[in-house]
Structure formats: structure tokens, C-alpha cells
Amino acid sequence: MITLQEFLEEKVRLPSPKAIAIRILEAIRKDEDSFAELANIIKSDPVLTARILKVANSSYYGMVDQVSSPGQAISVLGTKALKNIALSFVIFDAVKVTQQGSFDIDLFWRRAITSAVAAEIMAAEVGFRSDDIFVTALLQDFGVLVLFLSCGAAYTEVFDAKRISGSNLQEEETKHLSFNHTEVGYQILKSWNLPDTICEPIRDHHSPKKPGQTSTAGLVNLADRIASIYHGKESNRRSIEARMLLNEHYGINDEHALELIDTIGIKAREAIELFAISPGEMKPFSQIMQEANTELARLNYSYEQLVLELTQAKRNAEQMAVELKKANDSLRDLALRDGLTGLYNHRYFQDALASQLESSKRYGHMVALLLIDIDFFKKINDTHGHPVGDTVLQEISTLLVKLVRNCDIVARYGGEEFAVILPETGITGAKVLAHRVRRGVEQHQIKHGDIPIPITISIGVASSESSGAEISRSMLITQCDQALYEAKHNGRNRVEVASGEMKEKSLV
């Protein structure tokens, strides 16, 4: 389990903001509102100019007169509003990516935009002044996006665990990762020099310090609940929770709460289209409520029947979550395993070696590598046929796993070649293990029917121990490959150590 700082330094895969984004960020950080400067920044990007004018002339703002220039848009909407609209567009464009596995990118942004609209409308409703609330709500779950893009498979496991346990997302993130998405979002956006008025509420919005008082974090939390009505499951229950919160914390009666939620849905749909995203199956709030009431009327069950059905539904949902987790685990495993041998594949080997070398550099540990080649494998295929050759590969794979340590990583490098990563192992330990593996294979008996098939292997050994400077993944593989070539060139069935390290060569 890595720390948040290690994740930010080693794992984050996110493009840097474009030049125009940096200029807008710099303008936002200034205390004074520079009308001309902001207009010039926007005008320097024709695409951004067109989008700003489309927003200014949309029904979202309901302007009577046509807005035809960034300067006019600023004078009508205000400098602060335009800064945040422009910032929303440039950050959206900076991290706009295609579909990532099971993570629905469009749904993420639909919910984020709906939340931003809800926060802006609710702030105006309760008389709370916050120039940054739209972009704050838009980016409240930015950390979720970063985590999916940077470590999709591991983060999918967090969501699987959340479905099964019923706990909230932050608890499962902390349990699996040692940090949560609000901390990730806060740190990334701080590194982009966004102001604290945006970053701090993003960090705190899931647990506002004063939930009963009006604050940016509290309004963002409320906006997220309202957005979940349109883009989550159990819309009716979420609607009831949001309306109770509106009444208890903001003194808004139920009739007016329903009107506000409906207005938010209408405005959100317009805003989503301004971001050039399809609203998907987003339904009007009135339709959501009508469908919920129709379903309740159709059920017409007694209280006891409802309890029984809900209990069974909960069991089914839990079982489905467990089965989904097993399926996801199986798919992840298939993506990382070689189909014939069951060993890790070449892709996993490359990633694992890079990770071990990074750990070696950070903590001063050593890491060693073995490259193994089955001697005269082509002759086995030519003599006995390829099915027998496949059987040999499978048996040798199983044997290699038995001969190495539990902490070692065995992979099929390609063809009849295998690789073994030896964490926290110097050259001496690597040599000892390599000789043990070579002898173990030589002594192992493989038969085709009653015909014995003698098998030997050649092994190249390399280690980060004596490289002096930091060694790269490609350099370590090259050294090890050269040592393997020497082992084959010098007669096979032997171990050779990469030049520059211990040069002893032995058959025993």
C-alpha cells in the first residue's frame, strides 16, 4: 500500500493544463478583476470564444440581447462568472478522455455538470455568495477520475468492495489505498494553483465541518445529492433525502424543494449540452417522480410483503455484487496471464519490473532478474510435435513456480523464454537461486508416452546491485539477455552472470 505522496509522484497519469488554462488560472488568482485581460485571453482561442458566446446566448442565462464578443459577455455576466465558465471548459478539455473500461466517462461528467448547476442555483436560493461554486461543484469528484485513469484495475476493486460491503466510497478507498479521492482531487488541483476557495471545499465536501450552516462545502454536498437523483439509482429515495435536507438545513418547504429540483434538472440538461456531451437517459424530475409513484401504486403490497421482498432484493444485490467482483477479478487475471502456461504475461512482467526498480531506487533495495531459455526447444517441437511442445512449456512453467520463492515473480517472456523477478535480491542470492532452478529442471522427468524428453535450460542473471548508477528497466533486461546469450553460446545448460558483475560461471 503506497502513500498519497507516492501515488501523486509515481502513479498519476494526467495531462498538464494547456497554456490558455494556465493563463486563465493566473487571471483567477489575481485580486483585481481585469476586464480587458480576460477578454483578450478568451479571444486568443477561437474555440473557447465560440463556446463562451454559445453559453452567454443560451437559455441557461436567458439574455434578451444577442451577445457577440467576449467583452460583451463579460459586461453582461460579470468577470468572475466568465472566469469560472472558461476555467470549467479548459479543465474539461484537458482531461477529456475516451471510455476507460467499466468507468463511464460521460456519466461522470453529466453528474458533475448537474452538481455544478445545482450548487449555483442553491447558492442563489439561500443567498450565499460564492463566485467559485460552479467550478467547485464541477470538480468535487475530480479525484475519482484521476484514480480511474491512473490505476483503473485497482480502483475497480475498491468499487467492487463498496458494492459488497455497503460502506461509503471514502471508507473503502482508505482501506484499500490509504487515502481517498477527495484528498487526491485537492492535491492535484492545488498543484495546478487553483485557489483555496475551490480546493478546500472539494477536500471537505463529503464531510462539511458545519453541516447545519451554509458553506461552500455544505452546498456542494447538497448539490451532489440532488445530482444523484438524475444520475444514480433509487431516485425516489434520494429525492426524499434531498428534500429533507433542504427543509432541515435551509428552511425550504417540500413544494418549493420539488420546484427547485425540477428547475435544476432542466438547467442541467442545457448545461450538459453546452459541454458537447449527450444528456443520455436523463429524465425530467416530474417523470422520475411519476414513475416512482406509479410503481408504488402498482405494487400495492402489505407491509410484511414489502419487507420480505426488500430483504430478498438486498440478498440478491449482495450476491450479484460478490459475483461481479469475482468476474472482475477473473477478467483482470486473464488480462495479465499467459493463456497457455498460466504464468504472468509479458505486459505484466514489464510493469512489475518497472515497479520493483522504482521501489529499489526509493528504498535502496536490490532487485535481480533471471532470463531463462529452454535448450533446443525447436528440436522438441520438430521431433514430438507442437502439442508436446506446449505440454513441455506448461510443465516447465509449473516447475519454475515451485523452484523459486513465494515473493518472486515468474512470467512467460515469449516463446520458450521465461523471466523471474527477484525482489530485494543481490547478485549472490540470484546466482544461488538460478543454479537451483537449472538443476531442478535438469533433474525433472518429462515423458511423451513412455519416451523420456530430457530438458535443460540456460539462464542469464543480472542485478541492480553493482550497477553503480540507477539502472533502467531496459538496461537490466539487456544485461540479462546478454548473459543468457553467453550461457547458450558457451554450451547451454548453464548459468551466466551479466558482465560487470560477478563473472563466475558454473555448471553446478
Q: Is residue 416 within 8 Å of residue 377, measured between CB atoms?
A: yes
Note whether 77 and 120 are within 8 A (CB): no
d(CA 214, CA 223): 13
The number of residues in the chain equals 508
Phi, psi of 490 (to 5 degrees): -90, 15
Residue 200 annotated to the active site: no
Burial class (CB in 10 A: 0-12, 13-18, 19+), 170: middle
Bridge partners of residue 373, in order along the sequence: 417, 458
Q: Decide if 347 contacts 336 (C-beta within 8 A).
A: yes
Q: Which residue has the cell 515468474?
A: 410
d(CA 23, CA 430): 53
Nearest to 192 by CA among 413, 25, 23: 25
Find out whether 416 and 373 touch, Cβ atoms under 8 Å. Answer: yes
Closest CA to 13 of 149, 179, 182, 154: 149
In whole angstroms, what is the distance from residue 469 CA to residue 466 CA? 9
3-state DSSP assignment of residue 309: helix
For residues 315 and 85, give the distance between their C-alpha atoms in angstroms, rounded to a whole number.
45
Cell of 65: 440581447
SS3 of residue 248 by DSSP: helix
| CB distance 76 to 67 below 8 Å | yes
Residue 420, beta-bridge partner list: 370, 410
Strand-strand pairing, 495-497 and 457-463? parallel
Among 120, 157, 172, 416, the one annotated catalytic: 416
Contact 494, 458 (CB under 8 A): yes
Element counts in the chain: helices (H) and strands (E) = 23, 7
Please give the C-alpha separations between residue 344 and each of 184, 332, 335, 349, 409, in angstroms, as whole numbers.
30, 12, 9, 7, 8
Question: Which residues have C-beta within 8 Å of that of residue 386, sequence separation ≥ 6?
Answer: none
Catalytic residues, which ones? 416
